[in-house]
Each structure stands twice: as structure tokens, then as C-alpha cells.
């Protein structure tokens, strides 16, 4: 536990120095987070081969999230205080294993690195699970799939299995592609259902930046609430936001 608390203390002090002064925070924020837009342009709409896409989401994205996504300094200071006061137990350490102790009617948590064993009455799975339209507990997306109004997006494999992340097959304007290949233009989707064909749609917005989520929201708004083009007599040259398009055939 002391090792973990030492890490938290060091990380909080680094964060207090800011992402311009502290080298570790500068690397995480500038090299990883600020390059996200470039990565998104490369990954969206099948920019990676199926096997590379699977590895990217399964390996690279978790590392990215640990480095660049997270709670505030204030929240981690509260966690530190809860650990030191004995109200939060982290003694199971990394790689903790969970099993059900049927004799006691409890959950047992074992720490292979620390040797700790703890029992719990309630198990809460607090992870944010990836979106899968077919397995959604709400009936909307499974019903749309069953009726062929939408379909799941697949990154086609070349001499390898297709990669199907779970999100819907959408156009750059966020309209779903039906099971019969037609575009269902009266419908638009935004948010988790678009994860897969596009990347990091539920990422946090960066204020005062040309942020990819803002650009995609504007594309969605123009598809959701289409406006008639101004007449030439009005002399307007205003155009909607640039939407990212599908990749050329590989």
C-alpha cells in the first residue's frame, strides 16, 4: 500500500507543476493527448488493417487512456485521504484476482503481487464497457439490428478475419447503413454507437480548440437538422463543417 501511496503522492506533485513545467506531464499531454487528432484521422473509417485495428483498440488505447484520461488532482487527493484513513483498501495490488467463495457467500479478492486476500459482500463492475449494438441491455439497438434498419460496422480483413468492434456502420454524416446497403438518411446517431467506424467519439472536449468532437458534432447537427442552401442571390458562401470520409479500397 505504501508503494501505491508514494506513487499517488509523486503524481499529484507532478500534476501541480503543470503540463508545461513537468516533463512527464508534458509528454503525456503534448505527445499523446495533443496528437490524438492526427491518430483519429489515420484510424477512422478503416484506416488500419483489421488486425492492426484490433491491436490498436486492445493495446494502444488502454495505454493512452491511462496516460491522458483521468480524474482531477482534487479527486486523487480525496482517494489518497480515504486510503490513509483506512476507508479504501488497495492492498490487493495490481493483477488482483476475483473468485466467489460459495461457502461464505462472499467474493474473495486475491493479490498475487502482495499476497493479500480480502472478502467483499458486493461486487460492482465500474469499468466503462465498449459499445456493442447487439449486446446492448436496452432494446433499441438490438431491435434496429433485427429489423435491418442498421448494421454493425466491420473492418474487412485481408487474408484474415474481419474486425467488428461493435458500433454501427455510419456514413461521415452519421446516417446508418442498412443491412441491404441502403443509407437510412432520416436517422442519425451520435456518441457511443459511432465508436468503431470512428475513434474517440466520447472523448472529452478540449475548450478553445479545433477539437475533433466539436467538428463531428457540427457534422451531425447538419445531418440531423438539414438547412436549405442559401440562394446565389444572397451571395453567401458559407459551408458546413468538413466531415471525414471513408477510406479508399485497400
pLDDT band at 213 (very low <50, low <70, confident <90, very high): confident
Residue 189: what pLDDT?
93
Instruction: For 13-67, write each residue's pLDDT tens digit.
Output: 999 998 889 999 888 887 777 788 888 889 999 999 999 999 999 998 888 888 8
pLDDT band at 203 (very low <50, low <70, confident <90, very high): low
Burial (CB < 10 A; 0-12, 13-18, 19+), residue 34, is: middle
Q: Model-level pTM?
A: 0.76
Among 97, 100, 101, 94, residue whose Cα is nearest residue 109: 97
DSSP annotation of 228: P
Overall average pLDDT of the 168-180 stretch: 95
8's CB contacts (< 8 A; 6+ apart) are 76, 79, 80, 83
**Distance, CA of 191 to CA of 141 (rounded, Å):** 13
DSSP annotation of 144: H
Instruction: For 127-143, write each residue's pLDDT tens digit.
Output: 778 899 999 999 999 99
DSSP annotation of 234: G
CA angle, residues 165, 137, 188, in degrees to nearest 5: 60
Q: DSSP letters of 88-119?
A: S--TT-TT-EEEEETTTTEEEEE-TTT--EEE
Amino acid at each position: 500500500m505504501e508503494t501505491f501511496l508514494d506513487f499517488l503522492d509523486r503524481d499529484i506533485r507532478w500534476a501541480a507543476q503543470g503540463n508545461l513545467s513537468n516533463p512527464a506531464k508534458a509528454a503525456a499531454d503534448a505527445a499523446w493527448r495533443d496528437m490524438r487528432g492526427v491518430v483519429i484521422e489515420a484510424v477512422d473509417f478503416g484506416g488500419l488493417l483489421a488486425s492492426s485495428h484490433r491491436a490498436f483498440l486492445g493495446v494502444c488505447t488502454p495505454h493512452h487512456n491511462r496516460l491522458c484520461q483521468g480524474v482531477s488532482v482534487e479527486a486523487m487527493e480525496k482517494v489518497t485521504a480515504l486510503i490513509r484513513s483506512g476507508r479504501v483498501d488497495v492492498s490487493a495490488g495490481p493483477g488482483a484476482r476475483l473468485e466467489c467463495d460459495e461457502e461464505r457467500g462472499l467474493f474473495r479478492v486475491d493479490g498475487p503481487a502482495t499476497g493479500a486476500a480480502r472478502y467483499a459482500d458486493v461486487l460492482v463492475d465500474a469499468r466503462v464497457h465498449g459499445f456493442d449494438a447487439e449486446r446492448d441491455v436496452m432494446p433499441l439497438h438490438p431491435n434496429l439490428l433485427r429489423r435491418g434498419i442498421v448494421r454493425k460496422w466491420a473492418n474487412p480483413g485481408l487474408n484474415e478475419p474481419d474486425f467488428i468492434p461493435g458500433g454501427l456502420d455510419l456514413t461521415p454524416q452519421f446516417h446508418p447503413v442498412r443491412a441491404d446497403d441502403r443509407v437510412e438518411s432520416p436517422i442519425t446517431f451520435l456518441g457511443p454507437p459511432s465508436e468503431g467506424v470512428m475513434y474517440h467519439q466520447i472523448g472529452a472536449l478540449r475548450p478553445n480548440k479545433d477539437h475533433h468532437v466539436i467538428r463531428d458534432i457540427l457534422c451531425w447537427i447538419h445531418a440531423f437538422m438539414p438547412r436549405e442552401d442559401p440562394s446565389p442571390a444572397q451571395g453567401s458562401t458559407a459551408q458546413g463543417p468538413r466531415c471525414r470520409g471513408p477510406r479508399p479500397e485497400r
